[in-house]
Amino acid sequence: MQQISAGRRSARCARDFRSLAIAAGVGGILVAGSAGAGLGTAIEYYNPALRHYFITAYPEEAAALDAGTNVKGWTRTGGQFTVFTDPAPGLSAVCRFCGTPGKGINSHFYTADATECAKVKTLPPWTFEAIAFYIPTPVGGNCGGNYPVYRSYYTDNIADANHRFTVDLTAHTRMTKRGDILEGLVMCAPVTSEELEADVVRLLEQASLGPTEALVKEVAGKGVGPWIDAQLAMNVTRYTNIPHWEPPANNDDCVDGKTPPITPQKYCNTNNNSPAPVAWEFFRQARTAPDQLRLRMAHVWHQIFVIGGPNQTYANAGYQQRLRDNAFGTFENLLLKYALSPQLGYFQTWVKNVPEFNGIRPNENFARELMQLFTIGVNELNEDGTPKLDGKGHLIPTYGQSDIETLARVLTGFTYPTHPGQTPDFWGNEWYFIGDMIPFDDRHDQGAKSLFNGRVQFAAGMGAMAEVRAAIRAVVDHANTPPFISRQLIQKTVTSSPSPAYVARVAAVFKNNGAGVRGDLAAVTRAILLDPEARGPRKIDAEYGRMREPVLFWTAMIRALDVTTDGVMPDFVKENRQADGGLHDAAIAPVHIKLAAREPAEIGRIGCVEEQQRPLAHRRAQVQMDGSRRILGLGFKPGLPRNTRHHLRLEFEIDKLVLPRLEYLHDRRAIVAQAEQLT
């Protein structure tokens, strides 16, 4: 506890409610040695005029604050934690103090430390009011299966000092914005079964394509950590192995025929020269695939490692499978597989890149974006993802034009994979998207090269593949890569505005998984999902959370209602693009430059929306709500005509399937809303 001098008193301390009984709690408790102890809830309030936080476990006091009868200006923050109302073995009494009128400050103070309680009782500025409640205390700085309660202390020498007690680590960390000193863990809060279930539901929102009743029970039974480990070890769900397809010389020979009777065979272009069938299969697999974590993380990586084209269906399926296969390997291997994919070579136009000739230098597209978007970013970062500044307070660039030109020289000499039965030929290999691009050293820039102000050297004559591997290793080993990539992964799974401390913890695992491996994506995924800012009690920080993108909105709906689908979404929801064939378009992935440069509109809890998505947030929410309303309201029946482009593919009977599940979902949402105050 910090030493506090007397300050001005702008309101009287709340009256002593020590004689009031604390309300009975609900649900099972996860604390040993507390049999016979009743449960209550410590509720947090905030007074903006005072800039003070206050907690009370007395229901009558809470009712008075809610009504504003005794002391006005207090509102609930949404923060609360469970407490015990009675003494029991293994519990500590929490002393409640109020500033002594005329001597102390206008604030309350709580402590579960018996030594600290005894000391504060001797300080004239503080008046002991009561034992507020009973609670487990940390053992060796650890709460075990209980929730940590954190304390921060604030004084600006003008307003009265104040302490805040919260179980939300993110909210605690962000108290430094108020100028608080973070005092850390001071007590532990018991966990109810409802809180535990809410955390499981939150986990499945972060680590799957949507919670289901069965999966909630499975995770609750196994435990969060063991469930994640089991998911990491699962076999990979595979896309259909679509054979190679060559577009006809005449486009009119492969079109979508719309003359009745309509059959799948009439949709030559859609079924062979479009990414739509791959998206449809994604939605079909979303419902039942057992490796939910892998599918979710492959979708995350697709949002980072984007491609645009080619249109061939088999090429799109192969690329998406490439992400799934490597989602839990090392970042270096995933990045290499991305770089060598012929789909990326086509998209970034570095396939058939050659050394400078007749004044024409190598293509710089992928060289630039390999650094800018996929590994190190444009400015140097601290290990917690915050920007480094030079002595004049300016940002420090991570690379320069010379680095782009050097990487462009490295990225020369690769062509498409060879068609089966054909002889490899640098210029002759055309549009074949199965396997990796292949190197031709005689088409590679064989000169010596220097990258990152000489920190990385490429000797003359290394060869195309050796140089690409060395370049990939160089950007993976760059100090910026762990925080730059870790922050993006957190943003796309847990929260769009992660605290620097959260980023730093995950980046540390990215740097070293504990066994000396850098970029172990299984370990990084585990660190993200098990971090205390992802797990635990209700999250009340205003910047916490993320806006669910359309694809996860629809997969969650499919899984929660357990409906049969062939993946095709109706025309009235296609505006959000991720609902149908646009799922794997590069345009739906974060457009870092264009959107980040726009001035974001003020959108409700704007901190929950990634910077790139803010201009789209209101429209997206409107489209999703309207689409779901129309789907649930129409109640499509099995056996409808199956025009492959214009009819909804969610087949169910509204009265037999949807209404009972909606009742369940309402109950489930109530649990989560109670625990997290979701809006």
Q: Please report, in angstroms and rounded to a whole number, the separation of the first and last CA atoms in the chain.
A: 35
- Helix, strand, coil share (%) of the chain residues, nearest 5: 40, 15, 45
Q: What DSSP line would sit under 613-654, residue for residue?
A: TGGGHHHHHHHHHHHHHHHHHH---TT----TTTS--EE--I
What average pLDDT score do residues 476-482 get? Answer: 98
Which pLDDT belongs to residue 584?
67
pLDDT of residue 609: 45
Nearest of 82, 80, 135 to residue 676 by alpha carbon: 80
111-120, 408-417, 469-478, 542-551: the lowest-pLDDT one: 542-551
pLDDT tens profile 201-211: 999 999 999 99
Tokens representing 273 are: 């020269």
- Cβ distance 532 to 335 under 8 Å? no
Q: Binning pLDDT at 50, 70 and 90, where does residue 160 land?
A: confident
Cα atoms in the Cβ-side hemisphere of radius 13 Å centred on 377:
21
Q: What's the rounded Cα separation, in Å, for the pair 314 and 97?
A: 69
Tell me: pLDDT of 298 over 70. Answer: yes
Residues 6+ apart with CB under 8 A from 388: 379, 380, 381, 382, 395, 396
Which pLDDT score, from 0 to 100, does residue 11 have? 37
3 state SS of 370: helix
Mean pLDDT of 621-625: 56
- Listed in sequence order, the DSSP H helices in 387-520 are 401-410, 464-477, 481-491, 500-511
Structure confidence at residue 630 (pLDDT): 53
pLDDT for res 268: 87
Residues 309-341 have pLDDT tens digits of 899 999 999 999 999 999 999 999 999 999 999
Amino acid at 521: L
Quickly list H helices, 266-375. Answer: 268-272, 276-288, 292-304, 313-326, 331-340, 342-347, 365-372
Residues 388, 424: contact at Cβ < 8 Å?
no
CA distance 341 to 321: 11
pLDDT in tens, 500-526: 999 999 999 999 999 999 999 999 999
Task: Classify 329 as helix, strand or coil.
Answer: coil
Euclidean distance between CA atoms 473 and 455, whole angstroms: 13
pLDDT of residue 632: 52
Element (H, E) at 660: helix 659-676
- Residue 251 has a pLDDT of 78
- Residue 5's pLDDT band, with cuts at 50, 70 and 90, is very low
Q: Can you tell me the distance from the alpha carbon of 345 to that of 182, in angstroms, rounded to the nearest whole number? A: 49
pLDDT at residue 212, as a whole number: 94
Predicted local distance difference test score (pLDDT) of residue 103: 86
pLDDT of residue 261: 80
Tens digits of residue pLDDT in 259-289: 888 776 788 888 899 898 999 999 999 999 9
C-beta pairs of 672-675 under 8 Å, 24+ apart in sequence: 672/198, 672/201, 672/202, 674/194, 674/198, 675/194, 675/195, 675/198, 675/199, 675/537, 675/538
| Confidence (pLDDT) at 623 | 57
pTM higher than 0.95 for the full model? no
Quick one: which of 192, 193, 219, 190 has its CA closest to 207? 219
- Say what angle helices 481-491 and 464-477 make with each other, to 10 degrees: 70
Question: pLDDT tens digit string along 10-39?
Answer: 334 543 333 222 222 222 334 444 545 699
Give the span between the Cα atoms of 625 and 618, in whole angstroms: 11
The answer to whether residue 605 scores a pLDDT higher than 70 is no
- At 371-391, the pLDDT tens digits run 999 999 999 999 999 999 999
What residues does each domain of the chain span?
A: 39-191, 347-477
Q: Does 551 score more than 90 pLDDT?
A: no
Residue 164 has pLDDT above 90, yes or no: yes
Give the residue ranges of DSSP H helices in 86-188: 114-121, 169-173
pLDDT band of 227, cuts 50, 70, 90: very high
DSSP state of 434: S
pLDDT tens-digit map of 624-677: 555 555 555 444 333 333 333 333 334 444 444 444 444 444 444 444 444 444
Rounded to an integer, the average pLDDT of 89-118 is 93
Q: What is the pLDDT of residue 629?
A: 53
Total H helices, total E strands in the chain: 22, 15
The rounded mean pLDDT for the chain is 82
Percentage of residues of the chain with pLDDT beyond 90 = 65
Give yes or no for residue 487 having a pLDDT over 80.
yes
Say which DSSP state 292 is in.
Answer: H
The larger pLDDT score, comparing residue 233 to residue 603, is at 233
Q: Return the pLDDT at 624.
A: 57
Which residues are CB-contacts of 629 (< 8 A; sequence separation ≥ 6)?
Answer: none
